[in-house]
Amino acid sequence: MLTAMSIRDVVLIERLDLAFGPRLTVLTGETGAGKSILLDSLGLALGARAESGLIRAGADQASVSASFAPAGGHPVHALLEELGLPGEEDIVLRRTVGRDGRSRAWVNDAPVGAATLRRVGALLVEVQGQHDQMGLADPAMHLRLLDAYGVPQELRQEVAVRHRAWRAALERLQQAEAAILDARRDADFLAHAADELSRLAPRAGEEDELAALRHRLQQGEKRAEAIASALSELAPRDRRSSGPAASLRAAARALQRLLPPGSEAENPAHAALAALERAEEALAEGETLLSRLAAEADGDPRQLEQAEERLFALRGAARKYAVPVAELAGLLDTFRARLAALNHGDAEIAELRRDAAASRARYAEAAQRLSAARQEAAARLEQAVNAELPPLRLERARTFVSVTLLEEEAWGAAGADVVRFLIATNPGQPPGPLGRIASGGELSRLMLALKVVLVAGSAVPTLVFDEVDSGIGGATAAAVGERVARVAEGVQVLVVTHSPQVAARGTAHLRVSKSVRADRTETQVHVLRPDERREEIARMLAGEVITAAARAAADSLLHAS
């Protein structure tokens, strides 16, 4: 509900802060006091058209903020989430208008456009006035209101589920038909491509496997070359070259000439000869180890070449078909499926068409039951609303709830119906749309009658009536007041009224007045105490001179309410 409103520099209002409670708040005051300024200010916060004429004389801009406390789970929370706006327990709508006519808007301090402000505001407040009808006058709302009034939710959900199933079946059919059309158009290409990729036979992950194998083989090749190089240094294949082993043997033979028989122990050359012998043994051992390593490293010389050829073939095919190598296997499956569709497509299409037709039939059957339920609810709604009209001085008027079948292309998750609330204000007159047939006062009272019956189906927590009692009095005004109070039992209601019978029904009473200070006219709002309410209602009954009889009548109205 609306909890507070702050107004700055709007027409005759310089600074005004108001708090609102639940149920029924009435606003009274003499004509021209500024009641319409309050409604214009609220409209500005709700996203209505901004005009520089709203700015108070001498001010640079006008600003209005309205605070709301919607219940948990209210649709406005989902809308804020959808729009990416801050979701808080309280929702504050704020608007400013400058002298150049430009306006700025915020929702919970997040800047938004006027259209977004209107979307949020429409879920929080509904205004019913003589000249500005919203909510019930909008045909887009009629189906939802009728459903909320008397159509089982389970039936509506069943229609929505069957509609989704029908749409899914149609989508599968359309996709299959498009696939076959594409396959027939590209039959030669598909056959060639499928054959080429089949011969290539790509596997998932094969590129990574081949790249790792090639790297390993390349490293092994480098290792074998290093071992071979080392062996060639130890044992050159060129007989003209002497390796280290031959050099060691030659050195040993030269030293042995320095060692006469029997003199090894005493000869100092013995240690050098022993070292040469150890070196020759170590060299022989190193050659043996290298030969063993060379034998182990000796792989298939064609393996690296084959791995590279396979890798290059895969990458060439990937470039040709403009896909990553990893997707070649999937592409082959796609080509094969499209070719298979050519062979089996007619049977598949026929099956999908049967499925779509069956889904449509199931939807149509549920939609027909929903239409029947709506026709029944429409008759009950007509009877309930028409019963409210005579006390509101609309005894010659009749409302009609029209439920008609849409063309098939317009069928949707909500069913196959279009719902319209119509009215005929005089006998013999053909019914027509609410806003076109009824006059301003008639339309306001008609909206009140509809609201009395439909209040439970509205998700909007705050309802504003602007002079719903215009042009009536006596018993009719009392009937209006009684019905406004009934509506206020379900939602918060703000009503601008000149009728004491309506004002007496208020849970809270605000008196709007204007005064002149320092040659400036200002609009003020005063929250009335019980004794002040009595005086205000007496003034509404008697005029400027309040008599004892008027006070007595005011007491009677207040006690009756």
For residues 335 and 191, what is the distance between their CA atoms, to the nearest angstrom? 8
For 18-33, what is the HEC assignment?
A: EECCCCEEEEECCCCC
Query: Residue 92 in 3-state DSSP?
Result: strand
DSSP state of 391: G
Where residue 477 sits, what CATH number does that domain have?
Answer: 3.40.50.300
Number of domains in the chain: 1
Q: pLDDT value at position 220?
A: 64
Is residue 98 in some structural domain?
yes
Q: Is residue 6 part of a domain?
A: yes
Does 222 fall in a domain?
no
Distance between CA atoms of residues 127 and 492, nearest Å? 12
CA-to-CA separations, 141 to 134, 158, 211, 492, in angstroms, rounded: 10, 21, 65, 20
pLDDT score, position 236? 66
Range of the domain at 499: 2-124+460-528
Residue 420: how many CB atoms within 10 A of its CB?
Answer: 17
Is 219 part of any domain?
no
Query: Closest Cα to residue 27, out of 495, 415, 407, 529?
Result: 495
Residue 131 is predicted with a pLDDT of: 47
Residue 267's pLDDT is 66
Task: Identify the CA nearest to 495 among candidates 473, 537, 524, 462.
Answer: 462
pTM reported for the whole predicted model: 0.64
**Residue 492 placed within a domain:** yes
Alpha carbon dihedral 279, 285, 290, 295, in 10-degree steps, equals: 160
Q: From the first residue on, what is the mean pLDDT of each consecutive set of 10 residues in the chain (561 residues)?
A: 94 93 92 88 91 89 95 88 87 94 92 93 82 60 87 94 96 88 75 87 83 72 66 63 68 71 64 76 74 62 76 87 88 83 76 95 96 96 91 87 94 94 85 70 77 78 83 82 89 91 93 86 92 92 86 88 69
Helix (H, G, I), strand (E, B) or coil at 123: coil
DSSP label at residue 545: S
CA dist 272 and 349 (Å) reads 97
Asked if residue 336 is part of any domain, the answer here is no
Q: What is the SS3 assignment for 411?
A: coil
SS3 of 475-502: HHHHHHHHHHHHHHCCCEEEEECCCHHH
Tell me if 244 is assigned to some domain: no
Per-residue tokens: 457: 């189906």
d(CA 486, CA 451): 10
Beta 91-98 vs 398-405: how paired, if at all? Answer: unpaired
Whether residue 194 is contained in a domain is answered as no
In one letter, which amino acid is 484?
A: V
Give the end-to-end CA distance of the chain in Å, rounded to a whole number.
Answer: 23
DSSP secondary structure, 532-559, as one string: HHHHHHHHHHH-SS--HHHHHHHHHHHH
pLDDT of residue 222: 65
